[in-house]
């Protein structure tokens, strides 16, 4: 007996996820989001120009639905346009959000054990570089 091909479409992502993953133009960001974007843009331009400036650590926080992922996706697109993706490290508190921004969890980036084991001196020295 021949089986019919399944032609139904499976929706893998919700509309909210699709919206979060959509890159927006910087002009479409809210003023505080534009400010964060411009800080990163300036820092990236200075770094690519060979200027010696300290590493930028930027925390974007807020309640769910505030547009954090949109800002991060726009910043990611900027790095991609400059072929500098390897210079961008993205982290989130929880795995779902980390996967949305194609990043990692804070615990995995900082190599903090979830088992409660203290950090070795070697790990502390490595983390102090950042």
Over the stretch 3-20, which tens digit does the pLDDT of each residue have? Answer: 444 444 444 455 555 555
Q: Report yes or no on 82 lying in a domain.
A: yes
- What is the separation, in whole angstroms, between the first and last Cα of the chain? 62
Higher-scoring residue by pLDDT: 88, 98: 88
Query: Which domain, by its residues, includes 77?
Result: 15-127
Q: Report yes or no on 101 lying in a domain.
A: yes
Q: How far apart are the C-alpha atoms of 28 and 23, rounded to whole Å?
A: 10
Q: Report yes or no on 49 lying in a domain.
A: yes
| Cα pseudo-dihedral 34, 39, 43, 46, rounded to 10 | 80
* pLDDT at residue 95 tops 90: no
Give the pLDDT band of residue 24 (cuts 50, 70, 90). Answer: confident
Q: Report yes or no on 79 lying in a domain.
A: yes
* pLDDT at residue 75 tops 60: yes
Higher-scoring residue by pLDDT: 9, 59: 59
Number of domains in the chain: 1
- What local confidence, expressed as pLDDT, does residue 37 receive? 95
Q: Report yes or no on 5 lying in a domain.
A: no
**Per-residue pLDDT averaged across 82-92, rounded?**
90
- What local confidence, expressed as pLDDT, does residue 7 receive? 44
Q: Report yes or no on 65 lying in a domain.
A: yes
Q: Report yes or no on 67 lying in a domain.
A: yes
Q: Report yes or no on 113 lying in a domain.
A: yes
- What local confidence, expressed as pLDDT, does residue 54 receive? 92
């Amino acid at each position: 007996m021949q089986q019919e091909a399944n032609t139904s479409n499976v929706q893998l992502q919700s509309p909210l996820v699709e919206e979060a993953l959509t890159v927006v133009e910087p002009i479409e960001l809210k003023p505080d989001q534009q400010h964060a974007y411009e800080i990163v843009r300036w820092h990236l331009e200075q770094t690519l120009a060979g200027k010696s400036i300290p590493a930028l650590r930027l925390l974007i926080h807020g309640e769910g639905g505030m547009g954090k992922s949109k800002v991060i996706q726009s910043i990611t697109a900027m790095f991609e346009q400059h072929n500098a993706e390897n210079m961008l490290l993205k982290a989130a508190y929880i795995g779902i959000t980390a996967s949305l921004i194609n990043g990692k969890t804070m615990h995995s980036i900082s190599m903090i054990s979830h088992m409660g084991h203290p950090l070795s001196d070697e790990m502390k020295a490595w983390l102090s570089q950042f």
